Amino acid sequence: MELNQLLGRIVDEVAPLRGSGVVADYIPALARVDPAHFGIAIADIEGSVRGVGDWRMPFSVQSISKVFTLALVLAGSDEALWRRVGREPSGNAFNSLIQLEHERGIPRNPFINAGALTVTDELISQVGDASGELLAFLRAESGNPDLRVDGEVSASEAAHADRNLALTHFMASYGNMRNPVATVLDQYVRQCSIEMSCRDLALAGRFLAAHGVRRDGSELLTRRQAKRVNAIMLTCGTYDAAGDFAYRVGIPGKSGVGGGILAIVPGRCAVAVWSPGLDARGNSVAGVAALDHFTTLTGWSIF
């Protein structure tokens, strides 16, 4: 099926779901976003990108940023991180304190909040300014020098960060924080508050479809490392709904409560979809449906 036809078909299929779900109202700056927005973009491994709908409209990437922070850390030091965070699905809420206590301050995986805070802490130790390093990387890979941290979202999240603060202090009590808690939390909030469009996100994620090779042809990750990041996206990337996402969509994906999802077809393309209405587990209702249709229509599931 020709790409424009494919994208048009997906838009038609998900039209009844636009506006379904609820926006992330626990972050006040995100509560005002219209849930009827929908955009999708596909970037192939050569770097060309096509999209439809609101695919050029910036939105808050939130937890999707965790994929890129993880990749930057692994590019710097592979083994150091895995002594501090696991690689197993959580099965619990993404901000669970109970699970973290049960596992004595070692987060279950890098995509739950505790794990992502640990990854951010590791990146601070490597480069100093973790959010600045991430933003520079995303600007380079997307080809968009205007990417920025949304100050309103960042301030809103910082003002409602009690749970993340508790998680970080709890890990510090077990010796699993290397930098000051306030510094780690500030950097983490900033990374989650970066604004990107579907176009930007698909291009930035293209290196994972290209087995770790960046836009300029240099290697960020080895083929083995890229495989492993994609594997963690598949098993842990959609909060406690990863099994259902694998069942319906069948490719690695990472969602964010801003309504975005980045999905990877290894060896082919990166797909970014955005629709702010979320289901009870924090994943975009129309976004998951769009990716379901995408893999069904193309046959590009990894299964």
Q: Report, as residue numbers or ranges, the catalytic residues.
A: 63, 66, 188, 239, 257
Distance, in Å, from the CA atom of 284 to the CA atom of 281, rounded to the nearest integer, reads 9
Distance, in Å, from the CA atom of 140 to the CA atom of 138, rounded to the nearest integer, reads 5
Distance, in Å, from the CA atom of 189 to the CA atom of 212, rounded to the nearest integer, reads 26
Phi/psi zone of residue 233: left (φ > 0), alpha (ψ -120 to 50 degrees), beta? alpha
Say if residues 123 and 85 touch (Cβ distance below 8 Å). no
Q: Which residue in 79, 75, 62 sits closest to 116, CA to CA?
A: 62
Say if residues 249 and 263 touch (Cβ distance below 8 Å). yes
Say if residues 41 and 275 touch (Cβ distance below 8 Å). no
Task: List the strands of the sheet with 148-149, edge to edge.
Answer: 59-60, 194-196, 148-149
> Within 10 A of 281 (CB to CB), how many other CB atoms are there?
16
111-121 exposure pattern, b = at least 16 Cβ within 10 A, e = fewer: bbbbbbbbbbb
* Burial (CB count <10 Å: 0-12, 13-18, 19+), residue 143: middle
Measured in degrees and rounded to the nearest 5, phi and psi for residue 188 equal -65, -45
Q: Which residue in 159, 155, 175 sits closest to 60, CA to CA?
A: 155
* Burial (CB count <10 Å: 0-12, 13-18, 19+), residue 298: middle
Say if residues 262 and 272 touch (Cβ distance below 8 Å). yes
